[in-house]
C-alpha cells in the first residue's frame, strides 16, 4: 500500500462501513462487529500513517489527479497523523463500551452507522488540505452528532439537541462567511497555497479582519469563552458512550483548526492574534473550572471541565512559541484520554447507582474498589498530579508561559489546576468515600465485574494515563517534532505544491 493511499482510507473505511451497516439486517451483532472491525482498521491505518510521516516526512495526495491548489488535497503531517491514530483508538473504545452498555434495540438501529460517519468526518477534518473541505467535513461530523444527541428522543435530549444544533449552525454560517471572504481576498482556499500567498497580498488589515471570522467560528466549535454555553447544556444528556465520543473528538477539531490556520495562514499580525488567544484561553480556563466546582451532577461537572481544559490549549496556542505548541500537542493527547476515561467511569458509576447525582451516591470505594481506582487515576491526571500525564502536560504549558514572560497565563493555569483537583476530590468524596444515603442499599444492586464489558474500556483508558505518564519523553519528542512542522511550513508546502514557499 502506498503512503498516499493511506490518506484516504480512514474516510473510505468509515463512510463505506456506515453505508454497509445500513444495508445489513437490523440486528445488533452484525452492526456491532462491523463497527468494531472498522475502528480496528482505522486505528491500524492511523498508526501506519504516523510511522510513514515520521520516517518519510509530510505526505500529500491530490484527489482525482488534479494538481494543487485546484483540486482536493489530502495531507498529513505529524499532528494530523497523530490525531487520526487517536481518533481510531477513541472510536474503538467507544464502540466497545457501547456494546456493553447499550440495549440491543439501540445497537440494531442507526447508532453504529452514525458513530462511523462522525469518526469519518473527524478524520476528514484532520487530513484535508483546504478550508472549504474542512468546512464540509465539519458539517459531516456535526450532522451525525445532531442525530446521536437526540437518538433516544427524551425531552431533555431534544431540548439539548435544539440548543446544540442552533448554535453549531450559527458557527457554521460564520465559518462559511469566513471561507468566502478569504477566497475573495486570496483567490485560493488551499492551505499550502495560502501560506505562500498570504504574506504578499498587501492587505494586512483585511486579512486580520478575516482571521477574526475564523477565530469566532472555530472558537465556538472548540467550546471556548464566551462561546461555550452550548456545551454544558447538551453533553450531559446522551448515553455515556456518546458523551465520551463527543468529549474526545468534537471540540478537538475546533482546536486543531485554530492551530492550523493561525500557524499556516494568518501569521501577519501575531501580536494581536496571540493576545486574543491568551485572553480567551485564560477566561475559558476560569469559567469552565468555576462552573465545574458548582456542579453536583457528575456528567455536568465533567462537561464543564471540557471547557476549562480547552482553555489550556487555546492559551498555549496564544503563546505562539515552539515550546508552547509542543505543550499544546502533548496536553491535547493527554486530555483526550483523561477526559474520556472519566466519562466512561461516570457511565459505569451510573450503571451501579442508577443516578449521576453525587448526593445520591456514596461508599463506592468499598463496594466497587476497582471502579474507584479507575476514577482516581484519570482524576489525578486531569488535575495535573504527578506522576501521571496531566502533570507533565500542564507543567509544559506553565513553563512555556514563564519563558515567554506571560505571568498571567502561568498563574491562571496553576490556579485552575488546583480548582480542578478540588472538583475531582469532590466527586471522590461524594461518590466513593462518604457513607451512602439512607435511601440507598448498602450493597449496590448492579455490581460490576470484568466479565460484563463495562470496565474493560475504562481500564484501557486508565492504562493510557499511566503509559503517557511513564512514557512522557517519547510523547514530548513527537509533539516537539510536530510543533516544528507547524512553525516551519516549508515541508508542508513542498509536499502539497511540489515547490519551496
pLDDT in tens, 430-484: 888 888 777 655 454 456 766 677 888 999 888 888 888 888 889 999 999 999 9
Q: Which one-letter DSSP state was computed for residue 432?
A: I
C-alpha dihedral (423, 234, 142, 324), degrees to nearest 10: -20
Give the best-scoring range by mean pLDDT among 7-11, 150-154, 449-453: 7-11
Structural domain contains residue 356: yes
Q: Is the pLDDT of residue 200 over 80?
A: no
Return the number of other C-beta atoms located less than 10 Å from residue 463's C-beta.
14
Closest CA to 400 of 333, 335, 330, 336: 330
For the stretch 255-274, pLDDT in tens is: 999 999 999 999 888 888 89
- Residue 95 scores a pLDDT above 90: yes
Range of the domain at 394: 284-470
Nearest CA to 331 out of 217, 416, 234, 232 is that of: 416
Euclidean distance between CA atoms 305 and 289, whole angstroms: 6
| Residue 7 forms part of a structural domain | no
The percent of residues above 90 in pLDDT, for the chain, comes to 54
Question: How far is Cα 206 from Cα 241, in angstroms, rounded to an integer?
Answer: 43
Query: What's the pLDDT score for residue 491?
Result: 92
167 within domain boundaries = no
pLDDT of residue 269: 80
Strands 59-63 and 72-76: antiparallel
pLDDT band at 423 (very low <50, low <70, confident <90, very high): very high
pLDDT band at 365 (very low <50, low <70, confident <90, very high): confident
Tell me the average pLDDT across 327-346.
93
pLDDT category of residue 150 using cuts at 50, 70 and 90: confident
In this structure, the number of other CB atoms found within 10 A of the CB of residue 351 comes to 18
Q: What is the mean pLDDT of the segment spanning 212-232?
A: 89
What pLDDT does residue 354 have? Answer: 85
Reduce the DSSP state of residue 297 to 3 states and report it.
strand
Residue 236: all three cell numbers together:
450531559
Residue 34 lies in a domain: no
Task: Look at residue 451 in the predicted model and tell me its pLDDT.
Answer: 62
C-alpha–C-alpha distance, residues 462 and 7, integer Å = 30
Residue of 146, 18, 77 lying closest to 492 (CA atoms) = 77
Among 285-299, 317-331, 462-476, the range scoring the smallest mean pLDDT is 462-476
Answer yes or no: is pLDDT of 82 > 90: yes
Q: Is residue 436 part of a domain?
A: yes
Identify whether 308 is part of a domain. yes
pLDDT above 70 (res 225): yes
More confident residue, 86 or 163: 86
Q: Please report whether residue 212 resides in a domain.
A: no
Helix (H) or strand (E) holding 73: strand 72-76
Model confidence at 192: pLDDT above 50: yes
Distances 391 to 24, 103, 309, 496 between C-alpha atoms, Å: 46, 38, 13, 37
Q: What pLDDT score does 500 carry?
A: 47
* 497 located within any domain: no
Closest CA to 343 of 461, 434, 228, 224: 461
Give the chain's domain count.
Answer: 1
Amino acid at each position: 500500500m502506498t503512503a498516499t493511499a493511506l490518506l484516504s482510507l480512514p474516510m473510505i473505511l468509515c463512510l463505506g462501513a456506515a453505508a454497509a451497516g445500513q444495508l445489513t439486517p437490523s440486528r445488533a451483532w452484525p452492526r456491532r462487529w462491523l463497527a468494531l472491525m472498522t475502528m480496528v482498521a482505522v486505528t491500524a491505518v492511523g498508526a501506519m500513517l504516523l510511522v510513514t510521516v515520521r520516517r518519510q516526512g509530510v505526505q500529500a495526495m491530490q484527489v482525482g489527479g488534479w494538481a494543487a491548489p485546484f483540486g482536493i488535497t489530502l495531507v498529513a503531517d505529524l499532528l494530523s497523523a497523530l490525531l487520526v491514530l487517536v481518533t481510531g483508538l477513541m472510536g474503538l473504545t467507544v464502540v466497545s463500551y457501547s456494546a456493553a452498555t447499550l440495549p440491543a434495540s439501540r445497537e440494531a438501529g442507526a447508532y453504529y452507522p452514525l458513530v462511523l460517519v462522525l469518526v469519518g468526518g473527524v478524520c476528514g477534518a484532520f487530513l484535508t488540505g483546504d478550508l472549504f473541505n474542512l468546512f464540509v467535513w465539519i458539517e459531516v461530523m456535526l450532522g451525525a452528532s445532531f442525530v446521536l444527541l437526540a437518538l433516544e428522543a427524551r425531552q431533555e435530549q431534544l431540548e439539548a439537541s435544539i440548543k446544540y444544533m442552533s448554535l453549531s449552525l450559527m458557527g457554521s454560517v460564520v465559518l462559511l462567511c469566513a471561507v468566502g471572504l478569504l477566497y475573495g481576498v486570496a483567490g485560493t482556499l488551499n492551505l499550502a497555497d495560502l501560506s505562500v500567498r498570504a504574506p504578499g497580498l498587501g492587505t494586512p488589515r483585511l486579512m486580520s479582519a478575516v482571521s477574526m471570522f475564523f477565530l469566532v467560528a472555530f472558537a465556538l466549535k472548540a467550546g471556548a469563552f464566551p462561546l461555550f454555553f452550548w456545551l454544558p447544556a447538551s453533553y450531559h444528556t446522551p448515553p455515556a458512550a456518546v458523551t465520551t465520543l463527543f468529549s474526545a473528538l468534537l471540540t478537538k477539531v475546533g482546536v486543531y483548526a485554530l492551530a492550523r490556520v493561525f500557524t499556516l495562514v494568518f501569521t501577519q499580525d501575531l501580536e494581536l492574534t496571540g493576545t486574543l488567544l491568551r485572553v480567551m484561553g485564560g477566561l475559558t480556563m476560569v469559567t469552565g473550572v468555576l462552573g465545574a466546582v458548582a456542579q453536583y451532577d457528575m456528567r455536568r461537572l465533567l462537561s464543564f471541565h471540557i471547557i476549562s481544559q480547552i482553555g489550556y490549549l487555546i492559551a498555549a496556542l496564544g503563546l505562539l512559541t515552539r515550546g508552547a505548541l509542543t505543550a499544546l500537542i502533548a496536553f491535547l493527547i493527554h486530555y483526550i484520554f483523561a477526559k474520556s476515561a472519566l466519562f466512561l467511569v461516570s457511565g459505569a458509576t451510573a450503571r451501579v447507582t442508577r443516578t449521576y447525582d453525587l448526593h445520591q451516591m456514596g461508599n463506592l470505594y468499598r463496594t466497587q474498589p476497582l471502579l474507584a481506582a479507575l476514577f482516581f487515576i484519570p482524576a489525578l491526571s486531569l488535575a495535573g498530579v504527578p506522576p501521571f500525564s496531566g502533570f507533565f502536560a500542564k507543567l509544559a504549558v506553565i513553563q512555556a508561559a514563564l519563558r515567554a514572560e506571560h505571568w498571567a497565563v502561568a498563574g491562571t493555569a496553576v490556579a485552575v489546576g488546583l480548582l480542578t483537583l478540588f472538583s475531582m476530590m469532590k466527586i471522590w468524596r461524594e461518590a466513593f468515600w462518604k457513607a451512602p444515603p439512607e435511601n440507598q442499599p448498602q450493597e449496590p444492586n448492579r455490581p460490576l465485574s470484568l466479565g460484563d464489558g463495562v470496565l474493560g474500556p475504562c481500564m484501557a483508558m486508565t492504562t493510557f494515563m499511566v503509559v503517557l505518564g511513564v512514557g512522557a519523553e517519547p510523547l514530548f519528542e513527537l509533539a516537539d517534532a510536530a510543533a516544528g512542522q507547524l512553525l516551519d511550513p516549508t515541508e508542508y508546502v513542498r509536499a502539497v505544491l511540489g515547490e519551496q514557499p
